Amino acid sequence: MSGEEAFVTLATNDGYAKGAMVLGSSLREHGTTRKLVALVGPHVTEPCGHALRAIFDEVCPVDVLDSGDSARLALMQRPDLGVTFTKLHCWTLTRYDKCVFMDADTMALSNIDELFEREELSAAPDPGWPDCFNSGVFVFRPSVETHEKLLTFCAENGSFDGGDQGVLNSFFNTWATADISKHLPFLYNLSSIAIYSYLPAFKHYGRDAKVVHFLGKSKPWSYTYDVESGKVVDFPEGPQAGLHPDYLRDWWRLYTASVVPLLRRAYGDEPVPSSGMEEGSRDIHEDETASSPSADPPSEASSSPRPMSSEERKQRWEAGQMDYLGDDSFANIERKLDSFLK
Ligand code: UDP
Ligand code: GLC
Ligand code: MN
């Protein structure tokens, strides 16, 4: 028993590597006393590897495992998630007694070291099917034996969702019923998707959130951030966005403050990948090799060209065309809710 404990994440490409950098920075910012480990696939490029090494205690190369189960992944509309089988390699980190795995699209909002008091397999409910745990944040004990059993389980049974969450829920199949101490409060894995499906609960409990999880197709690094205004400029309309603008902005702030300087150093004399890193230009974008011209945040006028009747607004809302930065912004909805509650 080494007595060592670690937070562990995974990135198989540069997009998720940036997520991992923000996650690592958020854990450090909140003063974790545990080690930080990033598992990385071979497609993570060297500049990102460099920045990861500056944040994490260990950056471990791993082979990418892919479920190849396109049929089940299609059901989730996430063909990209077969590679999440790679997550199962976290059980090989046997130099640590206990670990907390966190998806690269999560961000700590406070110190969460108390999670190490929990046992394998502790996790929070999945917002889509709460009798399943969400595998974006979980406590586990590295073990060669468990790792082998998991791989055998995958080979024999596959995964009902085509990704790691299906396998892990089938493998740790008493989670829902056996031991309530293995149920982490939802606040340790607040899926941004859940915020809009139960807004009053978010309003009531949300301030105590400890980890935000940008679950779903849209990730923070898919957007463009305007450094000067401190706003994400291309925040999408429609329910598919599923991201809370405040958390999205917090993610970008941390990325700008803690990650960009590391990437800058890593790229050295090469053309700096993001236009936002250059003096005089203002945006930072996910695609760091393509320098995007500065884009202004949508003005009030462009996001709502004329006052809309409430019937028209209702129709747009029902068609999934919310004006997230304007009339339908979280702040406005909150104000409306407040007026009802008063
Ligand atoms: N992941 C990765 N590369 C991929 C897809 C996923 O490294 O191409 C890792 C990453 O750590 C990610 C996790 O697997 O956070 C789970 O995927 P994702 O977060 O996209 O799933 P979601 O939470 O949206 O269902
Ligand atoms: C989920 C989890 C994610 C997991 C994926 C595939 O929605 O948030 O961590 O990788 O399903 O099973
Ligand atoms: Mn995730």
In a domain, 235, yes or no: yes
For position 71, what pLDDT does the model report? 81
> CA torsion angle for 60, 65, 71, 76 (degrees, to 10)?
-20
pLDDT band of residue 285 (cuts 50, 70, 90) is low
**How far does residue 28's CA lie from ligand 3's centre (Å)?**
20
Q: Quick: pLDDT tens for 223-278.
A: 888 888 888 887 765 555 667 888 999 999 999 999 999 998 888 756 545 433 33
For position 11, what pLDDT does the model report? 97
Q: Which residues surround ligand 3, an ion (CB under 5 A)?
A: 103, 105, 136, 215
Residue with tokens 């998707």: 193
Atom of ligand 1 nearest to the CA of 9: 11
For position 53, what pLDDT does the model report? 97
In a domain, 72, yes or no: yes
In a domain, 12, yes or no: yes
Residue 191: CB within 6 Å of ligand 1? Answer: no
Axis-axis angle for helices 14-29, 245-254 (nearest 10)? 90
The conformation of residue 258, written as its DSSP 8-state character, comes to: I
**How far does residue 168's CA lie from ligand 3's centre (Å)?**
15
Domain total for the chain? 1
Q: Which of 48, 103, 107 to mutate to test the pocket of ligand 1 (most atoms within 8 A of CB)?
A: 103
Specify the CATH number for the domain of residue 248. Answer: 3.90.550.10
Q: Helix, strand or coil for residue 232?
A: strand
In a domain, 288, yes or no: no
In a domain, 312, yes or no: no
The conformation of residue 152, written as its DSSP 8-state character, comes to: H
Q: Quick: pLDDT tens for 79-91.
A: 888 888 899 999 9
For atom 13 of ligand 1, the residue with the nearest CA is 103
Query: What predicted TM-score, i.e. pTM, was given to this entire model?
Result: 0.81
Atom of ligand 2 nearest to the CA of 191: 8
pLDDT of 309 above 50: no
**How far does residue 45's CA lie from ligand 2's centre (Å)?**
24
Q: Is the dihedral of CA 104, 106, 107, 111 positive or negative?
A: negative
Q: How far is CA 171 from CA 92, 152, 257, 320, in A?
A: 17, 11, 40, 37
pLDDT band of residue 12 (cuts 50, 70, 90) is very high
In a domain, 226, yes or no: yes
Domain that holds residue 120: 5-267
Residue 184, both tokens: 């982490």
Residue 276: CB within 6 Å of ligand 1? Answer: no
For position 232, what pLDDT does the model report? 85
Question: 251 near 335, Cβ under 8 Å?
Answer: no
Residue 23: CB within 6 Å of ligand 1? Answer: no
pLDDT of 316 above 50: no
pLDDT-above-90 percentage for the chain: 57
In a domain, 320, yes or no: no
In a domain, 91, yes or no: yes
